[in-house]
Amino acid sequence: MKHWILFLPIIGLAGCSMAPDYQAPQPELPAQLPELDQTANAEADATLQADQTWWTAFGDAQLNAWVERALANNDSAEIAAARVREARALLGQSTAELFPSLNAQGEAARQDSANDLAQTPGPYNTYQLSGVLSYELDLWGRLRNGRKAAREQLLSTTYAYQSTRQTLISDTVTAYFNVIAARIQVEIGEATVADRKESLRLQQLRFDNGAITELERQQAEAEYAAALTSLPDSRENLEVAENALLMLAGANPEAFWSRDMLDQIGEDLPQTVDLEADLTPLALLRLRPDVQAAEADAKAATYNIGVIKAQRWPSLSLSALLGTGATDIDRLFTRDSRMWSVSGSLAGPLFDFGRTANRVRASEAQQEQALLRYEQVVKQAFREVRENWRGYAFANERVDAAVQQATAYDRTVELAQTRYDEGYTSFLELLDARRAQYDSRLALTSARLTYLVQAVDLIKALGGGLEPLQRDK
């Protein structure tokens, strides 16, 4: 009993930890987030909420298919998932280091020792089989802190994976809308070219008959040339938008040439969208994967300080061996061939010229950087919410103005068509009204696209689609 009392101080040391207590930064947060339902509309095409499947609110089955395809095939998402698997394996490795290891070893040898040293003259054989149990007593918490750091790294990579998925979803939705908008712009561009070509034909006839001057004819030709010039730009923008969508969906190289996948796209943009969110500032921090990843990194850096500090002190290793050994293989498992040993070793640094001390200072500086990055990410999160919220509101105002303008020009074309049918005006005046109508439709398409992109960006800024992870204790 007295011998076991000597081990009590060592057992007590096994509960020590050299890591400092983690002190989470306490940034000054706003009292509340802005209300996001100011554009409530009972006739809205979609009501977006910051949940895991917010994009399905658009009611576009083809959009849903593109998002699912991107989540299943995108290379960036696969890389992020592989990093999570790597971090999980490293956590398992750190956990295993807390437990004893059992190894088996066998040896067969023939040797000849010097006659003065040999107990048996001449060459002889030796055979050994044994099991070795080894265990490092975690006196200073090096292994435990290493496991805690690995656990936080797993959380960090998991949140990074979720952030990658969020970005992938929002980018895919945006790219899908970009393709629709680009196709509308190409259609309007082609209609504009056709109208201005007809206008040039009529002006040429009038010029040939002496009804107009050459200046007026040249103006018509310049307008036609301008429409022709802008059309390739619109087609190029469409090509770029389609390629971006294919890339996000993880399409094979062949798909960039066949373009078959691009047949599965809607024809028009949602016209109105409501955005609902009821979050407190603290809830926002829990939902933002970048904030959660930054905090996990800060905690991991704190535990790493304990890992490095523990290396200043001796480590205690215990080992036990049980086996059998003989000079004749037939006697390997007899009573006389049994062997065993129990040992302990204590090893620690005496003087390393400041190597460990500087490693401690470096780990403390890394923790300071991680804490500052956390504060920086928090500030960036609220900045993004503010900017995207205001951008969403401004985009809504632009859509209202663009709708009013487009409606007015649509009515203008109706009146011009009626006057032309009744013979009160020329076809040229009708074409002029159509040109203005096309320009207003381009402006409306651009405004609606910006509005949708702002809504998507705001959902992302609010951490849409993320469920907080449960931290194991």
* CATH code (residue 124): 2.20.200.10
Note the pLDDT tens digit of each residue in 192-218: 999 889 888 988 998 889 888 888 889
Confidence at 40, pLDDT banded by 50, 70, 90: very low
Task: Indicate the pairing of strand 315-326 with strand 46-49.
Answer: unpaired
Measured CA distances, 319 to 102, 322, 340, 343 (Å): 10, 10, 11, 5
Domain end call among 326, 347, 368: 347
Judge if 77 and 124 occupy the same domain.
no
DSSP state of 19: S
C-alpha–C-alpha distance, residues 270 and 449, integer Å: 9
- CA–chain centroid gap for 43, Å, is 34
Q: Among the listed ranges 114-123, 133-142, 230-239, 294-303, which one has the minimum average pLDDT value?
A: 114-123
The CA-to-CA distance between both ends of the chain, in Å, stands at 35
C-alpha–C-alpha distance, residues 97 and 77, integer Å: 31
Judge if 68 and 157 occupy the same domain.
yes
Are 241 and 182 a contacting pair, CB within 8 Å? yes
Segment 392-397 mean pLDDT = 90
Average pLDDT, rounded, for the chain: 84
Note the pLDDT tens digit of each residue in 221-255: 898 898 899 899 999 999 999 999 999 999 888 87
Q: Which of 17-21, 263-267, 407-411 holds the top average pLDDT?
A: 407-411
Task: Indicate the pairing of strand 124-137 with strand 315-326.
Answer: antiparallel
Judge if 176 and 281 occupy the same domain.
yes
Q: Which pLDDT score is estimated for 116? A: 56
For residues 373 and 125, which has the higher predicted lDDT (pLDDT)?
373
pTM of structure: 0.81
Judge if 48 and 76 occupy the same domain.
yes
Measured CA distances, 424 to 419, 428, 430 (Å): 5, 12, 11
Residue 256, in any domain of the structure: yes
Judge if 213 and 66 occupy the same domain.
yes
Residue 416, in any domain of the structure: yes
Residue 16 in this model has a pLDDT that exceeds 70: no
Residue 330 in this model has a pLDDT that exceeds 90: no
Judge if 142 and 272 occupy the same domain.
yes
C-alpha–C-alpha distance, residues 280 and 381, integer Å: 13
Confidence at 6, pLDDT banded by 50, 70, 90: very low
Q: Which pLDDT score is estimated for 42? A: 39
Residue 249's domain is classified under what CATH number?
Answer: 1.20.1600.10
Burial class of residue 305 (count of CB atoms within 10 Å of its CB; 0-12, 13-18, 19+): buried
Residue 473, in any domain of the structure: no
- With a pLDDT cut of 70, the percent of the chain lying above it is 87
What is the token pair recorded at 456?
């998507």
**Position of tokens 């969208």?**
273
What is the token pair recorded at 362?
């470096």
Residue 473 in this model has a pLDDT that exceeds 70: no
CA angle 98/104/108 to nearest 5° reads 150
Q: Which pLDDT score is estimated for 51? A: 60
Residue 200, in any domain of the structure: yes
The residue type of 64 is N
Note the pLDDT tens digit of each residue in 167-194: 999 999 999 999 999 999 999 999 999 9
Instruction: Tell me the residue range of the domain where 327 lies.
Output: 101-137+314-347
Provide DSSP, 119-177.
SSSS-EEEEEEEEEEEEEE-SSSHHHHHHHHHHHHHHHHHHHHHHHHHHHHHHHHHHHH
Q: Among the listed ranges 45-49, 58-62, 125-129, 337-341, which one has the minimum average pLDDT value?
A: 45-49
Across-strand partners of 326? Answer: 127
Judge if 309 and 358 occupy the same domain.
yes
C-alpha–C-alpha distance, residues 473 and 469, integer Å: 12
C-alpha–C-alpha distance, residues 178 and 449, integer Å: 7
C-alpha–C-alpha distance, residues 91 and 106, integer Å: 31
Judge if 171 and 89 occupy the same domain.
yes
Residue 422, in any domain of the structure: yes
Judge if 288 and 162 occupy the same domain.
yes
Residue 110 has φ and ψ, to the nearest 5°, of -125, 130
Judge if 79 and 93 occupy the same domain.
yes
Sequence-separated (6 or more) residues with CB below 8 Å from residue 315: 136, 137, 139, 142, 346, 347, 348
Q: Which pLDDT score is estimated for 465? A: 52
Provide DSSP, 367-379.
HHHHHHHHHHHHH
Q: Which of 252-256, 267-271, 354-358 holds the top average pLDDT?
A: 354-358
Confidence at 120, pLDDT banded by 50, 70, 90: low
Q: Among the listed ranges 15-24, 340-349, 453-462, which one has the minimum average pLDDT value?
A: 15-24
**Position of tokens 């910051």?**
50
For residues 29 and 187, which has the higher predicted lDDT (pLDDT)?
187
The total domain count for the chain is: 2
Domain end call among 301, 325, 347: 347
Query: Using CA atoms in the order 355, 356, 361, 365, what is the torsion angle rounded to 10 degrees?
Result: 100
Residue 261, in any domain of the structure: yes
Closest among 173, 216, 199 to 438, alpha carbons compared? 199
Q: Outline where DSSP puts E strands in 279-361.
A: 315-326, 338-347
CA angle 32/453/46 to nearest 5° reads 80
Q: Which pLDDT score is estimated for 471? A: 40
Residue 279 in this model has a pLDDT that exceeds 80: no
The residue type of 371 is L
Provide DSSP, 36-98.
--TT--TT-SEEEESSTTGGGGG--HHHHHHHHHHHHH-HHHHHHHHHHHHHHHHHHHHHHTT
Confidence at 113, pLDDT banded by 50, 70, 90: low
Measured CA distances, 263 to 195, 219, 269, 424 (Å): 28, 39, 16, 44
Residue 222, in any domain of the structure: yes
Confidence at 353, pLDDT banded by 50, 70, 90: confident
Judge if 18 and 126 occupy the same domain.
no
Could you count the other beta carbons within 10 Å of the beta carbon of residue 403?
Answer: 16
Judge if 39 and 69 occupy the same domain.
yes
C-alpha–C-alpha distance, residues 307 and 360, integer Å: 9
Confidence at 374, pLDDT banded by 50, 70, 90: very high
Domain end call among 323, 347, 371: 347
Residue 5, in any domain of the structure: no
Q: Which pLDDT score is estimated for 212? A: 80
Residue 375 in this model has a pLDDT that exceeds 70: yes
